[in-house]
Chain A
Amino acid sequence: MKRTVLDYALKIRLPLTLFVIAVSFILTFYISRAERDGVGYSPEQPINYSHKLHAGQMNIDCKYCHVGTEKGRHALVPSANICMNCHTLARKDRPEIIKLKKYYDEGTPIPWKRIHKIPDYAYFNHSVHVNKGIQCETCHGDVKQMEVVSQVKAWTMTACLDCHRQPEKFVPYVKEIKKGPENCWACHR
């Protein structure tokens, strides 16, 4: 039987094209996954603040600056007056501290770049998690070792639900932890 152009197109060219498309799609999907989930996002901040220095080296508790974590929904990004508790005296001569002092004196808030974000239609409550004994690192990664903060974990509904379903696997350090709620209104309302 004579090979026709049509044969070539149907038997070789088409499957090959489809294969290339499928492979490139699958590769892109998996390779870009982290990027799409926001993992590794570390924008430049208005003040070059180091968590490694403050939380790591000096071992200041997260909750000293991020107040409200035990009381309510938000873990607050500290207001400038908390920084100034120390920096009215400490390291007044450093360029970043001079920047901070300028913000504080002018009364303008510092526009920190947002790194972790949950969609508007999900209502996350810090106090519920923190008061159960879940540590900040479990979701936010080891911030104590970060010079510039970046997102290290995927911020997806799957990530929430994985832990809610199998807390013993994700937060083994919390004793006698029960499963988290899985109903919709636990987060969406």
Chain B
Amino acid sequence: MSSSFEKNKYWKSISDYNNSPESIKAKHDEFLEGVVDNFDSSKLSGMSRRKFLAVLSSSAALATTACSDYRDKGEIIPYNKRPEEILPGEANYYASTCTACSLACGILIKTREGRPIKIDGNPDHPVNKGKICAKGQSNILSLYDPERLKEPKFGNQTISWEEADFKVIEALNNAVKYNKQIVIFTDKIFSPTLKKLLNDFSVKYPTTKVYSYSLVNDKNKRDAWFESYGSYEIPSVKWNEAEIILSLDFDFLGNEGNFVENMRLFSEKREVVKKLDVNRLYVAEGRFSATGMMADYRLRISPNQQLEFIYAIINELSDAKVISVDTAVKNLVSKYSVEKFGSKEKINNLLKDLSQHKGKSIIQAGESLSKDVHIAVNYLNELLGNNNLYDWENLDSYYQIASAKEIEELIDDMNSEKVDVLIHLNSNPVFNLPQSFKYKEALKKVKNVITLTEAENETSYSSNITLPINHILESWGDAFNKTNVYSTLQPVINPIFNTRQKESILLSWINQKYDVNDFRLYLINNFNELIYNKLKPLTDQKTFWQTTLHDGVVKFEGDSTPKKFNTSSLSKLNNTNNKESFTLHLTESYYIGDGKFANNGWLQETPHPVTKVTWDNYAAISPKLAKKLNVEINDLVEITHNNQKVILPVMVQPGMSDNIIHTELGYGRSIIGEVGKDVGVNVIPLISKDLSLIVENVSVKKVDGKYQLVSTQEHHSLDDTFVKDLHRVRKIIQEGTVEEYKKNPKFLHEEKHELVSITREHEYKGNKWAMAIDLNKCTSCSACITSCNVENNIPVVGKDQVAVGREMQWMRIDRYYSGTPEEPIVSNQPMLCQHCDNAPCENVCPVNATNHSEDGLNQMVYNRCVGTRYCSNNCPYKVRRYNFFNFRDHFEDSYYENNLTAMVHNPEVTVRSRGVMEKCTFCVQRIMEARSNAIRDGKPLNGNDIKTACQVACPTNAISFGDANDINSEVAKLRKHDLSYHVLEELNVKPNVTYIAKLRNTHSEGVI
């Protein structure tokens, strides 16, 4: 082992770091306390065993003899007229566009027998290239949500669409007649056809005003870009060419910017297995984000100090004559210095790197930071010549967001009864607007409030008319992903309930009549105008539309001339307010978004990338601040701002700034389905009327009481009671630095000794399935986990069950800290069944329900399993999951056990019931499918044809899968690479998941 690791000490949480008794106990015990219910014999039924068996056998005998036709096997119901393209048992794929957020990634929807069962990225899409995030993957569950709105409603009454349309059209006409406003309050609009439709609506009803609103947006960044370059369309960054990256609180690998594209491009420059020319990531942030976990150097700078920090960098670089700064700016920045922002060594490295890599480095600031920071960043990038990393061919398309001032005007109009009709178009302002606007109260002054929504929400409860709209998988539509990338949406299933798509509803109000085909024709017309006429392809309109719909996307040449930097924007730069106030930093939840996905159990249960907490938001504070406030994890704190109070549980998060609190938005929905109701705390009331997500001058104090946050991190721990540094000693995490690797490529394997097996080795003559995971690329985004959930019918277990360690996800991403609680370094490791050649689980199964196949898979056979859990006990990796209940039946009074939600299940995978063990299968159903295809085509089975669900989903391509016996396969090559290792190698269980050790690109040879 290399010398660098001796300093290293890996720990998983603060209590682990301090070696608290609870933490030791948790690691020592296989199952957490409470995992197995306590048994109280007095509560059992009084019936004797003998009597019970007698009744049981006699009723069984009765049942078998009394049933008349015991041989009956039911019926086979074929189609009456089978649609040509549907072959039962075979999947169909349709290209469409994801609308889970405004990125509008291309998606490929897998349907079986006409029902959608999985959403993956569209591999032909030029931007997301076959990858989508966890939200997009899990969105399929929302289609089958039993609590979707099923019928139009007038108050609490169900009405017909005709009645609803009549009422609305009457109201609209009256509003125009009496010159009253019609307001359409919508979510972000990225569909050009919806934009046109809204224009047409305004033409038909001239008093219409449209407000587009989203609490989390990149308005500051866009506005700054407009000041600097005179355009709202921001070019993508060529992350794959950047050698030095400085992120100022910009979670570009988490959920800001086009993060799916960013992750792919960033990881292209982290291919340490191919070339050592890797980028170096500096992250300056106060919270601990997913991007922060990937940092080579991390600086703790709270969001309200970022302006000072960037001014200080400009100042230092200009002093060092690296850049020549405008005199006015120089005057502004000259008083700032970098000293207070971190250790001298780190800062010097940063300044040196920025000056040495002019034109090959990039600085980017977070979306919640002020316009000033963004202008300063644009200016510095310009001075350093980094503007040649802007990809002017790919511009993020612009969508307008209403400013805080406009919203206030709207509310004034509402209060003064100027607004007669208010249409909420898939938006939820009662929840999403800070309470200080008093939107809900203002709504009472509006005569007709109409809400178009998929499910009941806070806004629909304050509406007169609530209209149910289609899920995206039932809708037509289009979107601009980039200004030159146009993609289409097509329905893959008929509307399940009596719903209409939102565009159709608006169109029917314009046309005064409804036809289901109207919007499709409108869309095609607009497509012809917008795209066909522009591109003038050689085919006719119909064919071109069909081809576009088939591909899901069309890309064309856009205007790619680089814009000139506008120095006048520098006059907009302000002084910093230099006050060091206590700040609350709010960010969007990684998985449930702004609350839109709060009723999606899969997303609620996906562990937070950093803290691994599920089913909650919390106040993340630094250990030092926790000490100051005298709180520990699970204590409660009260945060006060502008007379608004919110009580939140505390999460002590290592590596945070000491003067900020970080919390996620989207939680605390009050009117929503059973799953999302009252999950977490709504922190939107704390936001001021300026809508800034950085709330300064908050006060915080400890309050009485306790709360239980549940995280998946302390579960499935490895037994390290006796040795503190077990993760290091047992080489679960192995890593080094680029410098170290350059010097000694074999540094990982120096202390390796030969392992002797006491049993005969089994030979694998045919295929041998294996996986390799590159830890350099894993950002812990959890797209793999959600993809696995959907593919393998993983149930939602609920918070109470996660608390006792019964979560069912087959894959988890372990997060280890090293270093100190102030400056931790994070190592992420996806952990799944390792399919060991000498699997310890197999030896202990009394019924041979888990055993090995000839192609190297560790098989788990549900119909043999009797549930002894010996296998899980004997698994060194803790990757086996036991069905303590029939979780579909157990969760929230069988919320997901109904005929509708059952449609989401993958028919190729058994839905497991209570009492059986399960685990990762390496997607055996996909292996079998490839095998049957190979037999059909008369070819040998090729491992490269098989892609596991996690591999397909991974935005950074960190996972590869294939045949280890095929020497040309990627996996076989990675298994032999110098940086490859197996977790717990010395057990000689011979795992088939190979990890590629992480190399940190620091200046020194040591990790810390």
Residues of A in contact with B (beta carbons under 8 Å apart): 35, 38, 41, 43, 67-68, 70-74, 76-82, 103-104, 107-115, 117, 120-121, 123, 125, 127-128, 131-132, 181, 183-186, 188-189
Contact = CB atoms under 8 A, between A and B. Distances in A.
Nearest to A82: B82
Contact of A72 (B87, B851, B859): B87
Contacts of B909: 189
15 contacts: A38-B71, A43-B72, A74-B89, A76-B88, A78-B78, A82-B82, A103-B80, A113-B75, A117-B74, A123-B908, A127-B936, A181-B854, A183-B853, A184-B864, A185-B857
B926 to A, nearest CB: 10
Contacts of B43: none
A109 B80 contact: yes
A178 to B, nearest CB: 10
Contact of A128 (B74, B921, B932): B932
B89 A68 contact: yes
A117 B861 contact: no
B861 A132 contact: no
Contacts of B854: 181, 183
B81 A79 contact: yes
A121 B857 contact: no
Nearest to A189: B924
A73 B89 contact: yes
Contacts of B924: 185, 189
Q: Which 8 A-B pairs have the closest CB atoms?
A: A183-B853, A73-B89, A79-B82, A79-B79, A72-B89, A74-B89, A114-B73, A72-B90
B82 A81 contact: yes
B71 A112 contact: no
A64 to B, nearest CB: 14
B72 A112 contact: no
B76 A114 contact: yes
Given A76-B82, A81-B81, A113-B75, 13 more contacts: A68-B88, A72-B88, A76-B88, A77-B76, A81-B80, A111-B75, A112-B78, A125-B932, A131-B935, A183-B851, A183-B859, A184-B851, A188-B861
Given A70-B936, A121-B910, A189-B910, A80 B80 contact: yes
Contact of B71 (A41, A70, A79, A125): A41
A189 B71 contact: no
Nearest to A115: B73
A67 to B, nearest CB: 8
Given A79-B80, A109-B80, A68 B87 contact: yes
A185 B859 CA distance: 6
A124 B934 CA distance: 16
Nearest to A40: B71
B862 interface: yes
B89 A111 contact: no
B969 interface: no
Contacts of B908: 123, 189
Contacts of A109: 77-80
Interface string B915-948: 0000001001100100110011010000000000
Contacts of A67: 87
Interface in B59-102: 71-82, 87-90
The listed residue with most B CB atoms (<10 A of its CB), out of A72, A81, A82, is A72
A188 B90 CA distance: 18
A117 B78 contact: no
A117 B73 contact: yes
B883 to A, nearest CB: 15
Contacts of B863: 121, 188
Interface string B848-880: 000111110101011110000000000000000
A80 B81 contact: yes
Contacts of A82: 82
Nearest to B908: A123
Interface in B834-857: 851-855, 857
A185 to B, nearest CB: 5
Contacts of B851: 183-184
Given A71-B90, A74-B89, A128 B78 contact: no
B677 to A, nearest CB: 34
Contacts of B857: 183, 185
Nearest to B850: A184
A134 B853 CA distance: 24
A72 B89 CA distance: 6
A141 B245 CA distance: 70
A30 B81 CA distance: 44
The listed residue with most B CB atoms (<10 A of its CB), out of A35, A73, A127, is A73
A181 B935 CA distance: 13
B880 to A, nearest CB: 16
Contacts of B81: 79-81, 107
The listed residue with most B CB atoms (<10 A of its CB), out of A113, A188, A189, is A189
Contacts of A70: 936
A185 B853 contact: yes
Nearest to A188: B861
Contact of A184 (B80, B859, B925): B859
A42 to B, nearest CB: 10
B73 A131 contact: no
Contacts of A189: 908-910, 921, 924-925, 928
Contacts of B932: 72, 125, 127-128
A81 to B, nearest CB: 4
A77 B931 contact: no
B762 to A, nearest CB: 13
Given A43-B72, A77-B76, A111-B77, A184 B861 contact: yes
A156 B331 CA distance: 87
A121 B863 CA distance: 7
A120 B82 CA distance: 24
A123 B928 contact: yes
A156 to B, nearest CB: 14
Nearest to A129: B935
B910 A74 contact: no
A108 B78 CA distance: 10
A76 to B, nearest CB: 6
Nearest to B91: A72
Contacts of A107: 80-81
A174 to B, nearest CB: 13
Contacts of A68: 87-90
The listed residue with most A CB atoms (<10 A of its CB), out of B78, B90, B908, is B78
Nearest to B75: A111
A68 B90 CA distance: 9
Contacts of B852: 183
Contacts of B861: 184-185, 188
B78 A80 contact: yes
A48 B936 CA distance: 34
B249 to A, nearest CB: 45
B146 to A, nearest CB: 24
Interface string B93-137: 000000000000000000000000000000000000000000000
A125 to B, nearest CB: 5
A114 B87 contact: no
Nearest to B925: A189
A127 B936 CA distance: 7
A184 B910 contact: no
Given A74-B89, A115-B73, A189-B910, A131 B936 contact: yes
B862 A128 contact: no
A112 B76 contact: yes
Interface string B705-736: 00000000000000000000000000000000
B862 to A, nearest CB: 7
A103 B77 CA distance: 12
A154 B838 CA distance: 37
A79 B79 CA distance: 5
Interface in B881-928: 908-910, 921, 924-925, 928
Contacts of B936: 70-71, 127-128, 131
B75 A184 contact: no
The listed residue with most B CB atoms (<10 A of its CB), out of A115, A120, A188, is A188
A189 B862 CA distance: 7
